[in-house]
Structure 1
Amino acid sequence: MEHPEVAKGTTFTTSEIVQFDHKKIVVRSIINRPTGNLSIVAIDTGQVMDRKSVPFDTYLQVIEGLARLSIGNQTFIVKNGQSIIIPARIQSTLTATIRLKIFLAIIKTGNENTGVQ
């Protein structure tokens, strides 16, 4: 699914570029390139973002709200201002405990198929 990028050469407030939608997950790309992407995601209370195992690490920062994040068999509570790195090749599930906005950064290294990190 394509998500429109933020216009280059303009200022913006990260937490304001995406708005909540009732019982939905809304994604807005800041940058989306073959080498990686930066996105802001708004997740309504109770909604679940299920991710299959991906071949690269993902940086997640909670901008607003509270999340329950399961990585493999571990569960974390990530709150406003906190960050976590989701390791490559491990399935994760993110649940919005309360309305949630997150910043996601994925940088593709070119080593995804080799297991090198």
Structure 2
Amino acid sequence: MDNSQENSQVDTGELEKSTAHIIVEIIEYIPNSVVIKTILRKSTGNISVMSFDSGEGLTEKTSPFDTFAQIIEGKAEIVINSVSNLLQSGEGIIIPAHLPNFIRPNGRFKMILTIIKSGYE
């Protein structure tokens, strides 16, 4: 596992409502960084778009909620409970609550993360 996590930049301002957005264009790559932009944040969950520069990933974590990860540009390796999943642009995966997971760098990529806070399953 690569623990090279890095520089993170987080933008918590939501996107403008009732306006069309080209999701892959609302976030840019920043050298040696992971960038996170909030699309929508509610008490019941949130949606964020993230960009990862080459060599950047996320260290292992466990969430109390199911999370849907969808690759919107490039490709990424998402490891869930020690099982590797290589996803390409247009593909998504549900990361189950309570299972250890991490994202291994695999070149530059962008993804959308949707967390549904339906309760502690």
TM-score normalised by length of structure 2: 0.86
Alignment correspondent of 2:18: 9
Partner of 2:92: 83
CA contact (8 A) 2:75 2:106 kept: yes
1:26 paired residue number: 35
Other structure's SS at 1:50 match: strand
Query: Secondary structure of 1:15's partner?
Result: helix
Q: Which residue of 1 aligns with 2:59?
A: 50
SS at match of 1:105: strand
Which residue number corresponds to residue 65 of structure 1?
74
Per-residue CA distance 1:23-69 (angstroms, 9 max, x = gap): 10000111011110011100011101125211111001100011111
The question of whether the paired residues in 2 share the 8 Å contact of 1:66 and 1:96 is answered with: no
Give how far 1:18 is off: 0.7
State the alpha-carbon separation in 1 of the partners of residues 104 and 51 from structure 2: 11
Fraction of identical pairs, as percent: 33
Residue 6 of structure 2 corresponds to which residue in structure 1? Answer: none
Q: Which residue of 2 aligns with 1:101?
A: 110
Q: Which amino acid aligns with 1:91?
A: P
> What is the CA RMSD across the aligned residues, in angstroms?
1.3
* The one of 35, 40, 51 aligned to 2:49: 40
Alpha-carbon distance between aligned partners in 1 of 2:11 and 2:54, rounded to the nearest angstrom: 24
- Residue segments in structure 1 that go unaligned for 5+ positions in a row: none
User: 3-state DSSP class of the match of 2:24?
Assistant: helix
Cα distance in 1 between the residues matched to 2:51 and 2:84 = 20
Letter of the structure 1 residue corresponding to residue 30 of structure 2: D
Distance in 2, Cα, partners of 1:10 & 1:70: 34
